[in-house]
């Protein structure tokens, strides 16, 4: 058990949130490659139809375009959700405290304490970590530039102990 909690001040800028939106898009658009499997599933029967009737090629092209547009729409929604608040507030920061039993966040007028088991997944890159909560759509962004290495090690260890999936992107 640690004697004192780990604390850090997280600073959010538009580039950090833009990268976070891209990470979320990669995770949601891929969904275990479900998007690409779905597009293939649509495309194969349509290719069969085009053998019999060449005019059906437009149907196949349209279905593929719709799939790609939907994929891009997921990115736009992730981006707007993360960056929209940043544009309203300008650059903002949040205090985070990591304890043995929970995470504590405080920023602006809001604060929250969450037990570790509420975090279901940790998505990691060299610059940013995303904590995905059990409640779909809730994400905490950890810019690693603001977090010392020992805090990163503690955070990952607590998440693994609580049963969270850890994925490197």
Tell me the CATH number at 10.
2.30.29.30
Does residue 132 lie in a domain region? Answer: yes
Degrees, nearest 5: CA angle 38-39-41 = 65
Does residue 112 lie in a domain region? Answer: yes
Strand pairing category for 110-115 and 139-143: unpaired
Helix/strand/coil percentages in the chain, nearest 5? 55, 30, 15
Percent of the chain topping pLDDT 90: 34
Question: Which segment, 24-38, 52-66, 121-135, is predicted with the most confidence on average?
Answer: 121-135
The number of helix segments (H) and strand segments (E) in the chain equals: 4, 8
What is the count of structural domains for the chain?
Answer: 1
Q: What is the pTM of this model?
A: 0.73
Does residue 102 lie in a domain region? Answer: yes
Query: Comparing C-alpha atoms, which of 110, 92, 101, 99 is closest to residue 13?
Result: 92
pLDDT of residue 35: 65
Domain coverage including residue 152: 6-168
Mean pLDDT for all residues in the chain: 81
Strand pairing category for 119-124 and 110-115: unpaired
Does residue 81 lie in a domain region? Answer: yes
Residue pLDDT, tens place only, 57-95: 777 777 777 777 777 777 787 777 777 766 666 667 889
Does residue 153 lie in a domain region? Answer: yes
Does residue 33 lie in a domain region? Answer: yes
Tokens at 75, concatenated = 């990115």
Does residue 1 lie in a domain region? Answer: no
């Amino acid at each position: 058990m640690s004697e004192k909690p780990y604390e850090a001040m997280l600073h959010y800028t538009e580039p950090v949130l833009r990268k976070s939106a891209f990470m979320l898009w990669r995770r949601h658009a891929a969904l275990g490659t479900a998007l690409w499997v779905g597009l293939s599933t649509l495309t194969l029967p349509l290719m069969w139809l085009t053998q019999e009737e060449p005019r059906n090629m437009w149907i196949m092209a349209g279905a593929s375009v719709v799939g790609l547009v939907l994929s891009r729409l997921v990115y736009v929604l992730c981006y707007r959700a993360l960056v929209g608040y940043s544009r309203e507030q300008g650059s903002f920061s949040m205090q985070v405290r990591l304890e043995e039993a929970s995470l504590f966040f405080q920023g602006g007028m809001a604060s929250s304490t969450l037990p570790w088991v509420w975090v279901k997944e940790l998505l990691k890159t060299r610059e940013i970590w995303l904590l995905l909560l059990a409640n779909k759509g809730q994400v905490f962004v950890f810019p690693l530039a603001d977090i010392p290495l020992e805090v990163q090690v503690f955070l990952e260890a607590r998440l693994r102990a609580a049963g969270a999936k850890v994925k490197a992107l």
